Structure 1
Amino acid sequence: MELTIRKMTKEDQDQLIEIDDRFTADSILVLSMDKNKIHYTVENIPGYIKSYKDDEQLEESSDFSAYIDHPDQAVYAAYIDDQLAGYVTVKRNWNEYAYIEDMKVDIKHRRQGIGRTLVEQVIQWAKEHKMPGIMLETQNVNVKACQFYESCGFKIGGFDFCLYKGIKKHANEAALYWYLIF
């Protein structure tokens, strides 16, 4: 198995990106705060399959043209033996952090170091662009992703219980804002 990370270029612009991003949501991070530090416990919930493709327009999720050849944005694709296995999109955010807008690893390629390698690529990109760190947002029902980011050194910097209610009025999901400060 050969893992290659490549910054996407104009030649890749029309490449169709199909990533199976499904995961089982069978637990949730229950948040608490003490002395300005956010803590969590994990509680089991009735399991269901979730895909972010269900929450977004497919055309928007695979249009990387704004990231290509832009000094403050990039998209990196991960390939296993020349087959697309994942990607990450990153940009300079208004607060100067590198903001991971999207990161997906195909379900059949998880737990092979691809996500960690993509995060390492973003760290390198952010440092080259003299940014103070990296931030991203994920949901408290994506426990495996939360635990992955935490294992990469990210800390929860904030949360929002209302963010997803605009999409689904009765959503019981919280947005978690994760930070890796250099």
Structure 2
Amino acid sequence: MYLVMHPKDPEVSVRLADEGFAPYVWGNDFSFDVKAYAHVDQNKKVEHWPLETITPYRKCYGIDPDEFASYLGGADSAIFMAYLDGEAVGHVVVSTNWNGFAHVDELAVAARARRYGVAKSLLDVVKFWSLKKNLPGIMLETQNNNIGACRLYERCGYQVGGIDRLRYRGIDPQTREVAIFWYLLFE
């Protein structure tokens, strides 16, 4: 299916996921190019984090819609889908974490639909959902190889709350991926 983009005035809408969630996931590419690993410095803005450039590679997390089937219609969870000019191009999975924060379990935007405000629109809906539930804030995690996501979270007011250098060593003992935990605290 061909998606016509209107960069000057894209129409982004977000609504609760429905039976179209699984076909949308299976039909999209959520991968991204990795060109560097950031050395996270909680005292500096993302743009000032030192970067270790690497031989570029394509990263894909292998999203499985069945993993989140129980989130549909749950009292403490939700899946929202984003549409750009009427076509499904992004989603966010959110739940209430054990510590009372809203937890973004997954946020993804189809590769062809990035830089149109889709991810920000999804984060705005998560914020609305969280405030409606009187939660103290939102937490999420990304990695030091997803520098674009780090920039987005910082622009949206999130702050680094923690770093875990060992989180992915069970998957790959040689990995240089570092988990970065971001928080948006409500006043």
Q: Do the two structures share a fold, i.e. TM-score over 0.5? A: yes
Q: Partner letter of residue 80 of structure 2?
A: Y
Percent identity, aligned pairs only?
A: 35
Out of 17, 27, 35, the residue aligned to residue 25 of structure 2 is 17
Can you give the 5+ residue segments of structure 1 that lack an aligned partner in the other structure?
none
TM-score by structure 1 length?
0.87
Please tell me whether residue 170 in structure 1 is matched to residue 160 in structure 2: no
Can you give the 5+ residue segments of structure 2 that lack an aligned partner in the other structure?
1-9
Secondary structure of 1:28's aligned partner:
strand
Does the 8 Å contact 2:37/2:176 carry over to 1? no
Compute the displacement of 1:16 (Å): 4.7
Query: More strand by proportion, 1 or 2?
Result: 1
Secondary structure of 1:120's aligned partner:
helix
Please tell me whether residue 51 in structure 1 is matched to residue 60 in structure 2: yes
Which residue of 2 is the match for residue 159 of structure 1?
Answer: 163
Q: Partner letter of residue 114 of structure 1?
A: V
Which residue of 2 is the match for residue 146 of structure 1?
Answer: 150
TM-score by structure 2 length?
0.85
Q: Partner letter of residue 62 of structure 1?
A: P
Does the 8 Å contact 1:38/1:156 carry over to 2? no
Q: Partner letter of residue 182 of structure 2?
A: W
Does the 8 Å contact 2:92/2:122 carry over to 1? yes
Out of 133, 143, 149, the residue aligned to residue 129 of structure 1 is 133
Q: Partner letter of residue 75 of structure 2?
A: P
Divergent runs of 4+, >2 A: 11-16, 37-46
RMSD of the alignment, in Å?
A: 1.8
Does the 8 Å contact 1:67/1:73 carry over to 2? yes
Compute the displacement of 1:29 (Å): 1.4
Aligned positions, number: 172
Out of 67, 73, 94, the residue aligned to residue 69 of structure 1 is 73
